[in-house]
Amino acid sequence: MESHYEFNDESFERAFAGGSFPASIFNHEAHVRLAWLHVIKYGVDQAVENVNTQLLAFVTQLGAAEKYNKTLTTAAVKAVHHFVCRSGSKSFTGFIAEFPRLVTGFKALMAAHYDIDIFNSPLAKKEYIAPQLLPFD
């Protein structure tokens, strides 16, 4: 497989939840798609829980648990939710076309909310740190 787009939404969700999603195609855009799928299907609160649980299981299965970041994962889901509430799209490709900065400008988007480097903070990796600059909603 070369892209997460080879999965339809249902098979993407099922493969990720079941631990069979190929690590080689789980890039940043696939992270955003995972958040989008859960936000639209379960709502933001359940999406935060689902994505955190599944992502931790995914990286642990790969032997890379140290890459998991609770703040970054939660913040990403909340950011996706913010844009879902403003979206007119019914598909992920349409959603990303509306809000490309979720993929192309994600670090800058997070910097608008945080005055610390949540990407590298040991505390941010372990527990959720609420944004200091701008709430997500």
DSSP codes, 32-72: HHHHHHHHHHH-HHHHHHHHHHHHHHHHHHTT-GGG--HHH
**Tokens describing residue 24:** 């080689």
Block residue for tokens 């889901």: 77
Answer for the pair 102, 79: CB distance below 8 angstroms, yes or no.
yes
- List the domain boundaries for the chain: 4-126
pLDDT recorded at residue 84: 98
Average pLDDT over residues 29-56: 98
- Predicted TM-score (pTM) of this structure: 0.96
**Tokens describing residue 56:** 């931790």
What is the Cα 122 distance to its own chain's centre?
19
Condensed to tens digits (0 to 9), the pLDDT of residues 65-114 reads 999 999 999 999 999 999 999 999 999 999 999 999 999 999 999 999 99
**Tokens describing residue 126:** 């372990």
pLDDT recorded at residue 80: 98
Condensed to tens digits (0 to 9), the pLDDT of residues 8-33 reads 999 999 999 999 999 999 999 999 99
Name the pLDDT band for 1 (thresholds 50, 70, 90): confident
